[in-house]
Amino acid sequence: MGFFARYRILLPVVSLAVLLAATFYMQPRAMSYFGINLLFNLAVPIALATIAQMMIIMVNDIDLSLGAFVSLVACITATFLNDSPMLGALILLALVLCYAALGAVIHALELPAIVVTLGMSFVWGGLALFILPSPGGSSPGWLRTLMTVKPPYIPMAVCASVIIAVVTHLLVIRSGLGTVLRGVGGNARSVQRAGWPVVRLKALAYGLAGLFGVFAGMALVGLTTSADANIALRYTLLSIAGVILGGGEFTGGKVSPVGAVIGALTLTLAASFLSFLRLSPDWQIGAQGAILILVLTARLLFTRRDAQA
Amino acid sequence: MTKTMMLLGAAGLAVAASGALADTSGKRIALSNNYAGNSWRQAMLQTFEEVGGKAVEEGVVGAADAYTTSENQATEQAAQIQNMILQGYDAIILNAASPTALNGAVEEACNAGVTVVSFDGIVTAPCAWRIAVDFKQMGKEQVEYLATRLPEGGNLLEIRGLAGVFVDDEIHAGIEEGVAENGQFKIVGSVHGDWAQDVAQKAVAGVLPSLPEVVGVVTQGGDGYGAAQAFKAAGRDTPLIVLGNRQDEMQWWADQRDANGYETLSLSIAPGVASLAFWVAQQILDGAEVPKDLTVPFLKVTQDTLDEALETTPEGSVANTVYSLDDAKGVISGAM
């Protein structure tokens, strides 16, 4: 096992550190409790969405409906969860179960996840428009308090990222169940032969994705204070990019929760960095893509060198 | 933009340079814009650059920088606003992607002592200022104009904007109100033209065969020329079409006027509202007392001002007004 394969996490960490150093150099004001929170607080929902996407990529599928799903959750959080918490919580629970059922259906009928989730994105989008036809709603007070809490010394955004990373690391990498789930992505047949019910495992992975999707939507509303049916459409692509940037691979089974969180932070920071550079918006999307390609190229080079060694 | 407007603008700048110099010369103002993909937004950005650049040159403010998000998404614009706080801007003027989804970021800005002035696409956060257009009045005024031209009334065709956008709802509500007050008119058809000539042309062409005689067309801007083309293609008489200040619409109007004496009215918001927001922000930084809700008048082009408007509007653009500091003061005192 080569150096890079063993320390898969190294590249995302280095990318983030380099970008952070460059940002602080450009904008010294950002180097403060207040500044770091402003830079990263909107990365918290993205990190949660990235973890959700990671759960799907882990079992060798991909979720194209995540952005629409997070938007729907945001709409429900800003309306039902705020007005009648019990009903809101029940709806959110039903959504998580929906996700689990989707996973089971995709496996049982051998449907391509990319098609099913693409279809579901329109269902989620339609529901979101139905619940909130024009932007509005408001964040439940406790959620707003949670997302704007000011813990001593370490900003909320950093605390939340660390907690998300540690919890999902324990869940996916350390726990026995997590190992089996990654096995489903790596080689579903052998997991099945070993006597595991793959349908249930897939449902579990999708259910976890739904759960983190719900957390992402709630965190987002806590930050923005209200919702909009299109609020999180970008999250689909951001979350996929975050997983890959964080060392995950499309082949299934090879994911890193800590890397995914760092990937989400890196993507958010890249956008801010480009804005500080005063780069014309016409170039910004391209530049964001270039950063992504740069990191992936670096990864490929390291992997190749390891393979030769 | 008329010559008098330009002179007024120049005079306003001169007053600003001498009067408010002491208080805001070190202040920095940023424009947060969510979209740059049509002629209106391009004209808006250009106006801001002209007015802001001149104000910086003359020492009225320290900086006036424009930022546009690349994907027209609220979350992206929220991050952009937070970055502006970090960059130490004193005021942010904002054309928002969503009236509500930016409130969290706007509150962060207010808490950091940054003045936030939203315009056109306004935000509902209580700490921000709003420069809104009375879109409802814009719809109503169209019907009122038709009533003066066609006292005997008749059937109207309504061309609406992009479904689900609040501007479309407002203009539509104004038109409904106008029709309710002027009973001689009846809306016999309604299509979505999405504020684009090609979409409007297709939509109108599709609905025309099923319509009785139409005497007037009420629009939302960017759709009048397409409607005219659809009527022409169907071999029908051109009804009275209310236009929306786009250059192609005004060109068509001038051609028709020269050919057969066609008369109509054109109205829309001037993209120069960005310059109004800029001066309002400057006034707030200067310590002036400014009400949180301001209304910007819309820009009308009439038969008399058509040639002038057409002359100053570049091809493919929109008729524009650049607001001066004095205009801003007028709007502020009007709202007190």
**Cβ-nearest to A225 among B86, B88, B104:** B104
User: d(Cα A30, Cα B97) in Å, to the nearest integer?
Assistant: 25
DSSP helix/strand/coil, B214: coil
Distance from CA of B164 to the nearest CA of A (A): 7
Residue A5: per-residue pLDDT: 58
Q: Does B109 touch chain A (CB under 8 A)?
A: no
* Residues B180-209: tens digit of each pLDDT: 999 999 999 999 888 888 889 999 999 999
Higher per-residue confidence, A111 vs A280: A111
Distance from CA of B119 to the nearest CA of A (A): 17
Instruction: Reply yes or no on whether the pLDDT at A160 is more than 90.
Output: yes
Q: Where are the domains of chain B?
A: 3-120+269-298+319-335, 135-268
pLDDT band of B12, cuts 50, 70, 90: very low
**Cβ-nearest to B86 among A30, A129, A225:** A30
Residue B97: per-residue pLDDT: 83
Cross-chain Cβ contact A226/B101 below 8 Å: yes
Nearest residue on chain A to B99, alpha-carbon basis: A135
Residue A281: per-residue pLDDT: 66
Nearest residue on chain A to B112, alpha-carbon basis: A34
Fold identical between B3-120+269-298+319-335 and B135-268?
Answer: yes
Spatial CA neighbour of B136 closest among B172, B93, B160, B163? B172
Q: Does B76 touch chain A (CB under 8 A)?
A: yes
* Average pLDDT score over residue span B109-126: 91
User: d(Cα B175, Cα B190) in Å, to the nearest integer?
Assistant: 12
Please state the pTM of the whole predicted model: 0.80
Distance from CA of B11 to the nearest CA of A (A): 32
Nearest residue on chain A to B89, alpha-carbon basis: A29
* Average pLDDT score over residue span B119-147: 91
Higher per-residue confidence, B23 vs B244: B244
Q: Which two tokens stand for residue B315?
A: 């091809």
Q: Does B69 touch chain A (CB under 8 A)?
A: yes
Cross-chain Cβ contact B98/A231 below 8 Å: yes
* Average pLDDT score over residue span B35-48: 83
Q: Which residues contact A262 (CB under 8 A, 6 or more apart)?
A: A9, A12, A13, A15, A16, A165, A245, A246
Contact A85, A298 (CB under 8 A): no
Higher per-residue confidence, B70 vs A80: A80
Distance from CA of A276 to the nearest CA of B (A): 8
- The least confident of B37-41, B239-243, B262-266 is B37-41
pLDDT band of B167, cuts 50, 70, 90: confident
Residue B217: per-residue pLDDT: 95
Chain B residues close to A136, C-beta within 8 Å:
99-100
* Average pLDDT score over residue span A259-278: 89
Contact B95, B274 (CB under 8 A): yes
End-to-end CA separation in angstroms for chain B = 27
Residue B2: per-residue pLDDT: 47
Q: Which two tokens stand for residue A155?
A: 């900003």
Residue B190: per-residue pLDDT: 92
Beta bridge partners of B267: B300
| Percent of chain A clearing pLDDT 70 (strictly above) | 97
Give the mutation candidate from A46, A231, A268, A283 for the B interface (greatest B CB count, under 10 A): A231
Q: Does B312 touch chain A (CB under 8 A)?
A: no
Chain A residues close to B112, C-beta within 8 Å:
34
Q: Does A136 touch chain B (CB under 8 A)?
A: yes
**Cβ-nearest to B86 among A35, A129, A271:** A35
How many CB atoms are closer than 10 A to CB B229?
A: 18
* Average pLDDT score over residue span B45-60: 91
pLDDT band of B14, cuts 50, 70, 90: very low
Tell me the residue length of chain A. 309
Q: Which two tokens stand for residue A4?
A: 């890079």
Higher per-residue confidence, B151 vs B13: B151
Task: Calculate the alpha carbon distances from A209 to A49, A149, A167, B171, B273 in Å.
Answer: 8, 26, 14, 42, 45
Q: Across all residues in chain B, what is the average pLDDT?
A: 87
Instruction: Reply yes or no on whether the pLDDT at B5 is more than 90.
Output: no
Cross-chain Cβ contact B103/A224 below 8 Å: yes
**Cβ-nearest to A27 among B36, B86, B102:** B86
Q: Does A44 touch chain B (CB under 8 A)?
A: no
Contact A78, A88 (CB under 8 A): no
Give me the residue label for tokens 């809101």.
A88
Q: Which two tokens stand for residue B150?
A: 């066609």
Residue A108: per-residue pLDDT: 93
Pick the CATH number of B135-268 from 3.40.30.10, 3.90.226.10, 3.40.50.2300, 3.40.50.300: 3.40.50.2300
Instruction: Reply yes or no on whether the pLDDT at B321 is more than 80.
Output: yes
* Average pLDDT score over residue span B14-21: 44
CA atoms within 13 A on the CB side of B307: 3
Q: Does A135 touch chain B (CB under 8 A)?
A: yes
* Average pLDDT score over residue span B120-128: 89
| Percent of chain A clearing pLDDT 90 (strictly above) | 58
pLDDT band of B17, cuts 50, 70, 90: very low
Q: Output the CATH code of domain A7-19+33-301.
A: 1.10.3470
CA atoms within 13 A on the CB side of A23: 29
Q: Which two tokens stand for residue B91?
A: 């005021």
B248: amino acid identity, one letter: D
| Percent of chain B clearing pLDDT 90 (strictly above) | 52
User: d(Cα B223, Cα B242) in Å, to the nearest integer?
Assistant: 10
Instruction: Reply yes or no on whether the pLDDT at A58 is more than 60.
Output: yes
Residue burial B155-169, b: 16+ Cβ < 10 Å; e: rest: bbbbbbbeeeeebbb
Instruction: Reply yes or no on whether the pLDDT at B282 is more than 90.
Output: yes
Domain B3-120+269-298+319-335 classification at class level:
alpha beta
Instruction: Reply yes or no on whether the pLDDT at B1 is more than 90.
Output: no
Distance from CA of B70 to the nearest CA of A (A): 5
pLDDT band of B165, cuts 50, 70, 90: low
A130: amino acid identity, one letter: F
Residue A293: per-residue pLDDT: 85
